[in-house]
Amino acid sequence: MKKFHLTILGANAAGPGYGRITSCQYLMYDNAAFLIDCGEACQIRISEYKLKANKINTICISHLHGDHCFGLPGLLTSFSNANRSKALTVIGPKGIKAFVDDIIAHTYSRINYPLSFIELDHSNQTEVVFTNDDFEVSAFPLKHRIPTYGYRFQEKAHQLNIKKEAIEKFQLSIPEIKKIKQGIDVIRNNKEIIKWQDSCINPSLPRSYSYCSDTVYDEDICKYISESQYLYHETTYLHELSHLAKERMHSTALEAGQIALKANVQNLIIGHYSSRYRKVDSLVEEASSVFTNVLKGYDGFMLDFPKIKVPSSS
Ligand SMILES: [Zn+2]
Ligand SMILES: [Zn+2]
């Protein structure tokens, strides 16, 4: 199984507070890392958590509010100072390239490695922004005060391996083996069913992670994040401040729980906490009142995405 690992570098909203920095996450899949948002001090967190900056090949920025991108120019110039030669892609809303170019120009800095941008036009569509044989990343629109995107990181379905005993036991033909390797049951004479799960070695389902910050409560996003193994959803406020959440286009902990439930995800990680909350257990409790599997996001939160077992056929 490929490595699929998340480290949250920053879980605070707006500015740093109570030891939390602003939004930034480091997601490793196989041998390459994605940085999701890039709040100030992300470089300190990368070294503090002993993560490898040079593994980052793609940076996904949700939007151009400073708490999600003010760490980006510093990180990009540090790559130059470290003599990076590998290409890097920055994905974000329209304007991200001008933001970086202007700071580089005004500070007389240089980028010495191939740097490219994918700028997203605000639309109601999901857009694939990265793909290889095993993994795909898509961007989708969130509802916030300025154009904002969520990202879904999705493992592709892997080729199933068939058990030798199953071939002998069921006398499987080549077309039947092909079907089973695609996860399709074999049906003989309209009655004998050979379940693909019973014929494959350790079958598992593709793992996935969806990132939604910042956004007002919006059920429209459920179609993009549905069935995710883990969902990170912002919880800037407790629901007693739902009027503030609406006005500033953020979500409450209760609303994050409701979205997790409606999207039928397996686990919810919360974060993007307002600096009015020194402790965030009350936000976890509130989200847990509507959804069962709630995890508290915090700076230093680490997660190895576990294997998802195929439900038994019996
Ligand atoms: Zn924010
Ligand atoms: Zn924002």
Sign, CA dihedral 298-77-61-251, equals positive
Q: What is the pLDDT of residue 295?
A: 98
Distance 8 CA to ligand 1 centre (A): 15
C-alpha to C-alpha distance for 10 and 248, rounded to whole angstroms:
20
Distance 63 CA to ligand 2 centre (A): 7
Q: What is the pLDDT of residue 181?
A: 86
- The CA angle 56-58-63, to the nearest 5 degrees, is 120
Distance 62 CA to ligand 1 centre (A): 9
Sign, CA dihedral 109-110-111-116, equals positive
65-69, 103-107, 272-276, 305-309 — which is least confidently predicted? 305-309
Ligand nearest to the CA of 275: 1
Q: What is the pLDDT of residue 190?
A: 83
Domains and CATH numbers, the chain: 4-157+206-309 (3.60.15.10), 164-199 (no CATH)
**What's the whole-number average pLDDT of the chain?**
95
Ligand nearest to the CA of 148: 2
**Across 218-245, average pLDDT:** 98
Q: ω before 67 within 30° of 0 (cis)?
A: no
> What's the pTM value of the predicted model, to 2 decimals?
0.92
Kindly state the helix (H) or strand (E) to which residue 270 belongs, with its residue range. strand 267-271
313 pLDDT band (50/70/90 cuts)?
low
54-58, 171-175, 181-185, 248-252 — which is least confidently predicted? 181-185
Distance 147 CA to ligand 1 centre (A): 12
Q: What is the pLDDT of residue 265?
A: 98
Residue 314: is its pLDDT beyond 70?
Answer: no
Q: What is the pLDDT of residue 161?
A: 86
Q: Comparing 138 with 203, which gets the higher pLDDT? A: 138
**Across 25-47, average pLDDT:** 98
Paired tokens of 161? 């391996």
Query: Tens digits of per-residue pLDDT, 82-99?
Result: 999 999 999 999 999 999
| 94 three-state secondary structure | coil
Q: Active-site positions?
A: 67
Distance 215 CA to ligand 2 centre (A): 8
C-alpha to C-alpha distance for 234 and 283, rounded to whole angstroms:
11
Ligand nearest to the CA of 274: 1
Ligand nearest to the CA of 37: 1
Distance 250 CA to ligand 2 centre (A): 8
Share of the chain above pLDDT 90, in %: 87
